[in-house]
Amino acid sequence: MARISRRQFNLGLAATGIATVGLTGCGISDAYGAATQQTWRHTEAGDLSPAQKRREIVRYGTLAANSHNTQPWTFAIEEDRIEIRPDFTRATPAVDPDDHHLFVSLGCAAENMVAAAPAFGMEAVPEVTPRDGETRVAVALGSGPTRRSPEFEAIPRRQCTRSEYDGTPLTASELRQLQAAAETPGVDAIILNAAQPISEVAEFVATGSDAQVRDPEFVAELKEWIRFSSAEALEKRDGLFSGCMGNPTIPPWLGRIVFDFVFTENAEREKNIKHVNSSSAVVVFTAKQNDRAHWVEVGRAYQRFALVATHLGLKHAFVNQPVEVPEVREQFASYLGIGDRRPDLVIRVGRAPEMPRSLRRSLDDVIV
């Protein structure tokens, strides 16, 4: 069978005009752009009632990173606490068979709420609790001084930027601030910022990616969460929008056919190696224990790190392939010298222009 390269695919689309007819920017509709502006905004605390403030804190929670943008959460709001509950109907068993990423995502949301609460004159303290036979994150709310921190200011500017970075090194001050941001009692962050270890991590990413591209269940699940057009992304308001990943936007029926031709081992390997090697640093988060409570802590550590990186004008993206394939994960742990500990997340950091943004479901869909 003839192979179509990503470049040929892009050129082919441009030639047919499919990617651009009636659209603006990188094949992204004006309506999509307007929806992202509405999503990624700040709210002034002003005259909001306590109930409105709690709702806003949840909204900031939903702006957190989350695996495949499944938004695997619901929020139960009470007067003095907000419970973040796992939504297992949005689990991704192929890439995340033990729900590790799902609980990390809950931690990401919790940390955004911690950063947002002081802007509304509140203090938020998350705690992982078993309740009704389920692990949940209870975020206790108390009153506190009103303050807008740099992390809070960064929430609507954070994004996962899945593009090539400019390769310039981090300054000593940036490194120090990133290390401090990632420090959490139950979680270590290993920052690799020399060319040699970065290129070694790139090889692990490529090896993990090879295994994933060969796994039909992984591919089918990924495809299910890709939103190929602005209209599809706007309708679902979740998932991975092609436009955010620098890919053309096309009718979903066509996207699902073409995907199989362009999502190949070689194309993914080439892209991942280029992306990782263009980064200023790679950060591996590893928790001291391998359980749900610690996975939530990993999410909190990542989210705080990401907000500080954003505040510093840096971009970042996940390259989790080495921790998602069990055999590669074992080899990666041994490469890192972390013994029996699980490497939880792999993040690359660097400098690059902003990419198109993702969407979130409405608050009415996630508040129970």
Ligand X SMILES: Cc1cc2nc3c(=O)[nH]c(=O)nc-3n(C[C@H](O)[C@H](O)[C@H](O)COP(=O)(O)O)c2cc1C
Could you list the residues that contact ligand X (CB under 6 A)? 65-69, 101, 104-105, 108, 159-160, 162, 240, 317-318, 320, 358
In angstroms, give the least distance from the CB of 94 to ligand X.
Answer: 13
Q: Closer to ligand X at the Cβ: 122 or 282?
A: 282
DSSP line for 193-256: -SHHHHHHHHHHHHHHHHHHHH-HHHHHHHHHHEE-SHHHHHHH--SEEGGGGTPPP--HHHHH
- 104 or 325, CB closer to ligand X? 104
Pick 45 or 221: Cβ nearer ligand X: 221
Q: Which is nearer to ligand X, 74 or 122 (CB)?
A: 74
| Residue in 134, 11, 117 with CA at minimum distance from that of residue 60 | 117
Q: In Å, what is the CA distance from 36 to each residue of 32, 94, 111?
A: 6, 29, 21
Nearer to ligand X, 69 or 135 (CB): 69
Least separation in angstroms between residue 144's CB and ligand X is 27
Give CA–CA dist 263/252, Å, rounded. 15
Q: Got the DSSP string for 33-54?
A: HHHHHHHS-----TT--HHHHH
* CA within 13 Å, CB half, 28: 22
Residue linked to tokens 């990943």:
245
Smallest distance, ligand X to C-beta of residue 143, A: 30
Query: How many residues belong to the chain?
Result: 368
Q: Minimum distance from CB of 16 to ligand X (Å)?
A: 28
CB of 246 to ligand X, least distance (A): 11
Give the alpha-carbon dihedral of 332, 224, 23, 163, to 10 degrees.
0
- Rounded to a whole number of angstroms, the minimum distance from the CB of residue 36 to ligand X is 10
Q: CB-wise, 141 or 281, nearer to ligand X?
A: 281
In sequence order, the 6+-apart residues with CB closer than 8 A to the CB of 20 are 14, 27
Give the C-alpha separation, 117 to 203, whole Å: 41
The one-letter code for the residue type at 366 is V
Which two structure tokens, joined as six digits, stand for 167?
């390769």
Q: What's the closest the beta carbon of residue 50 comes to ligand X, in angstroms?
A: 28
Nearer to ligand X, 27 or 356 (CB): 356
Q: Cβ closer to ligand X: 119 or 317?
A: 317
Two structure tokens written together for 110: 């919790």
To ligand X, the closest distance from the beta carbon of 159 in angstroms equals 4
Least CB distance to ligand X at residue 222 (A): 10
E-only strand ranges, the chain: 73-77, 81-86, 122-131, 134-143, 187-192, 226-227, 240-241, 281-287, 315-318, 343-350
Residue 162 or 311 having the CB closest to ligand X: 162
Q: Considering the complex, what minimum distance in angstroms separates the CB of residue 355 from ligand X?
A: 8
Asked whether 9 and 220 are in contact (CB, 8 A), the reply is no
